[in-house]
Structures are given as structure tokens and as C-alpha cells.
A and B are shown apart, each in its own frame.
Chain A
């Protein structure tokens, strides 16, 4: 696992990573033919159905609704709404699988590896486990345990890495399987209402995962002294960082 740090990553993998970021960033939304490379554009919209027909002085007015209907409440409304989320989840996961197949995550691992020590005080050999943890908390934690048992990680590094995984766990799968649907919300006129994009939100989460790891490191420094040294003065309870 850990000897894969230096595996070669093809140029295609970097292209796949860049394509994935652009695809989910919304950058090409509404850019004519280029919008074919935009997630929300391809995700499309539901057709509408007639909801109510009223007659007024101006003639006949028809209001429309989606298949969810209008005016629902409670579990049944929740179910109908949840059904409208299914295609977004399927589409997002299908595209993630494609980008992953072309090496997007490999490229991300390669780019991240040299940054792990300076940014999170964990060795570059955790790159593989880190990328796995973005997709599956179970895979990430199992690989971390393995690294710790093999002596690749000190106890302190293991704890910091656990903190990294614990905040925004399985970031990619969770964000794209549930968060992506939030960016499909529209107002009554059918216009998209949520500014920013899922890719942007994932970027913010990623930054804060590093923030979390560093806050925990700070906590360890305050309560147990700098790297490695066992806590002698446990009496000093320096609560949160």
C-alpha cells in the first residue's frame, strides 16, 4: 500500500482530474455548446404538469408543477420529493466513477502527497489512505489502521490523520450523493437559486479538513507537549484550541 507513493501518474489522469473539477464547478453553465461539460446542465430538469386551471378576465391561466405536485406535507411529500433526487444522485455517482476510472483520484493523490507533511504533519505515505477515505470511511480507517500497525505512522500521526478523516468523512461520496441535489433547487420560475457549486463546496470542505487536523495538532501540542513527548503535566487541561 505504502510503496505506491511513487507510482507514475499519466498526463491523462491530470486531465481527468481537471475535467472532473470543471464538470462539477458550474463554470461552463450557460456557455452554449460548452455547457455539455457542465453537471447541472446535463442533469437537466423534470417536465412540468398542469396543476391548476383558473379562468380570469385575461383568459385561462394554467399553473404548472413538477411530478412532485404542489402543496404536499409530511412523509408522503418527503417521499415524492426524495424521488426527484434519485436521478441526480445516479448521474453524479456515474460521472464520479468515470473520472475515477481515468485516474482523477490517482492524480489528486500524486499532487497531494508532497503537501501532506507541511500541511497536516502526516507522512506522504498516507496519500493512498487519504484518497480512499474521501470515498469510503471504512476503507480509509482500515488502511490507516494498517499503516499504524506496520509502523508507518506514529501514534501522534495516526491521531492527527484520524481527525482529518473524521470531519467531513467520505467527503466525495457524501457530498455528491446528497449535497449535489441542493444545487438543483429552483424557484417557482424554474431558476436555479443556490449560488456557488458543489465543486466549490467540496473545495471548502477539503481546506477545513486540513484546518481540523492542525487544530488537533495544536491541541496535542498544548496538552501533551510537542511531537512524541509523553504528557507529564496532564494537570494542565488546555481545552479546545
Chain B
């Protein structure tokens, strides 16, 4: 770090922002678009309302509406998708800012695990028999974080 030519702080910022542009254009935009389509489909078919009713007793424990379950299910597949789902539920007036604050840590704690099975546990060489346990612990983590956030907020 010290011997190489010192880069300007502006260059460092721009390099980071460029990385942000790539993440935004290749991950955020497609994921949010997908989430909006899924929520639109769920709304049109009435499945979202059904989901809201079915999950309402469970989610109420965390101070959340039943539909918030869609955020968690989405998170498990893709963190970015879950953020999109949360935003579209906020837009639809189903979730409030407080609900979102409760859910943020949970989205990441159980987030993108479908992908991370291959990207974390694969390269490390974790034994297959531990994988279900690790997933269960991540989900426990997510629900515990919602309990905690519900108390804090």
C-alpha cells in the first residue's frame, strides 16, 4: 500500500462507484424488476392476500403483517429480490417503514442461501450432512433478529 504510487481519493471513490454501478445494473435492477413482477402476479391472482392471511398469526409475533413472509421467502433465494419485495409491499401500503426496519437484518441473515451453498460451503468443503443444520440456524438467526428489532423499534 505504501510503496505504490498513491492514488487520489477521488480515483478510489470512482473505482468504488464503478463497482456500485456494476452491482446496480447487473444485480439490483434485474432483482427488483423480478420482485415487482412476482408481487404483481401474486396480487393479480389474490395469492398475496391469501399469504397475508395464512402467515398473519406467525408474523404478528414479530409485529409484521402476514404478507411480510413473502420478503423472507424471497430473501432465501436472493437478498436483492427480497429488498425489491419489501419495497413493493411498502408501495402497496402493506408494509411500513417500521416493518422494513424490523426485517432488514433478517433479509441478510437468511439471504441468498441457495446461491451461497455453492459459493461458501462448496469451496470450503463443508460436509453435506451439516448443510440442513446451517440453513436451520440461519433461519433461527433471522427470526431471532426480528424479535430483537421488534423490541428495539
Write the residues of chain A forming the contact surface with B, with a CB cutoff of 8 angstroms. 73-75, 77-79, 81-83, 85-86, 89-98, 101, 133, 137-138, 140-142, 144-145, 148, 158-159, 161-163, 165-169, 171, 173-175, 177-179, 181-182, 185, 187, 192-196, 198, 201, 204-205, 208-209, 211-212, 215-216, 219, 240-241
Q: Which residues of A contact B29 (CB under 8 A)?
A: 79, 82-83, 85-86
CB distance from A163 to the nearest CB of B (A): 5
**Other-chain contact of A137, B91, B119, B140 (Cβ < 8 Å):** B119
Residue of A93, A97, A166 with highest tally of chain B CB at under 10 A:
A166
**Other-chain contact of B23, A93, A138, A215 (Cβ < 8 Å):** A93
Question: Whole-angstrom distance between the alpha carbons of A174 and B115 in the complex?
Answer: 13
Interface magnitude class on chain B: 35 or more
Q: Which residues of B contact A140 (CB under 8 A)?
A: 120
Contact in complex: A168, B109 (CB < 8 Å):
yes
**Other-chain contact of A240, B130, B140, B145 (Cβ < 8 Å):** B140
Interface of A is mostly: helix
Interface of B is mostly: helix
Offer 30 A-B interface pairs, CB within 8 angstroms, sorted by A: A75-B36, A78-B88, A85-B24, A89-B20, A93-B17, A95-B16, A97-B19, A101-B9, A148-B125, A158-B125, A162-B120, A165-B124, A168-B141, A169-B111, A169-B116, A173-B23, A175-B108, A177-B24, A178-B27, A179-B79, A181-B87, A182-B104, A185-B90, A194-B98, A201-B105, A209-B141, A212-B141, A216-B134, A219-B133, A219-B137
